[in-house]
Structure 1
């Protein structure tokens, strides 16, 4: 059985999204894919295509790059939702020059209000070198704070490394 809230963390191309998709599918419920990415170039389009091709007809996709609250609040307990991913959502917030603390508070409240089991995927960006420019450093810091807030809200927190889950908090179903 899915936890009410699961936080899946990992590096780029670590297998975290695939692992999160399989976690949702293990519920045998009607999964929702809440996609936060914006297709800005061909590279992003190729990554989105890989994700789309992996999902079958069981999935319903909702595309929402900024305001996740209405979608999360509209779901029922029979519609587990995969939010993929918090990193793109944060990037979108930064590009929109949003108040990041307020946006994070609103996201956390929407997750609390969500009646459906939720799984949110995010990138771990703090294991590398210190970025050499102000925007990248601000993003890294904001991503770290967002990850802390999401992990605190989740019943289950998993770090995926090379496709392998490492439980940080809670227990796997």
Structure 2
């Protein structure tokens, strides 16, 4: 990875996308992890704890469930960063009933101008059935639009299926 490079990693739930994204930082001394997850129940707390244990102690974690843009804006050119994940960030905003268009525009602007090496993880949610309720359909549509924008902003796009990464755009160094 080079300074200012953006890699977008997407895949289905439990597809191995976060584990793959973390491998891109194997040579980094102190990578930054921007976390969007919130532990509202024991199951999510356990998932977060598994991710923390897998990453190990070399990572510096920045909790940013709503302000990932601010965390990205604070990065310098010497930083390497993993933002995991845009899906939970979006969910947090939908549930907080914030003005999503403005928040998304701010996040995308921060990503586009980020001087750090940045990997963004997100879920691909458009390959399943049409959800049966309005909030779920709104989420799916918003996530699809966000993923399109993230893929457009990225230098490299990687789709992870069953733990296997496939480069869709650009190349991994």
- TM-score for both structures, normalised by structure 1: 0.95
Q: How far apart, in 2, do the equivalents of 1:122 and 1:71 lie?
A: 17
Deviation readout 1:50-94 (Å, 9 max, x if unpaired): 100101221100001011222212212221110000000000010
1:25 correspondence with 2:61: no
Q: Which residue of 2 aligns with 1:61?
A: 61
Q: Which residue of 2 aligns with 1:142?
A: 142
- TM-score for both structures, normalised by structure 2: 0.95
Q: Secondary structure at the match of 1:66?
A: coil
Q: Which residue of 2 aligns with 1:109?
A: 109
Residue 29 of structure 1: how far off its partner (Å): 4.3
- Unpaired segments ≥5 residues, structure 1: none
Q: How far apart, in 1, do the equivalents of 2:128 and 2:42 lie?
A: 26
Q: How far apart, in 1, do the equivalents of 2:13 and 2:7 lie?
A: 19
The RMSD of aligned alpha carbons is 1.2
Q: How far apart, in 2, do the equivalents of 1:90 and 1:140 lie?
A: 10
Q: How far apart, in 2, do the equivalents of 1:29 and 1:10 lie?
A: 27
Q: Which residue of 2 aligns with 1:161?
A: 161
Residue 4 of structure 1: how far off its partner (Å): 0.7
Q: Which residue of 1 aligns with 2:5?
A: 4
- Unpaired segments ≥5 residues, structure 2: none
Q: List, as ranges, runs of 4+ consecutive aligned residues in structure 1 with deviation greater than 2 Å.
A: none
> Between Structure 1 and Structure 2, how many residues are aligned?
172
Residue 161 of structure 1: how far off its partner (Å): 0.5
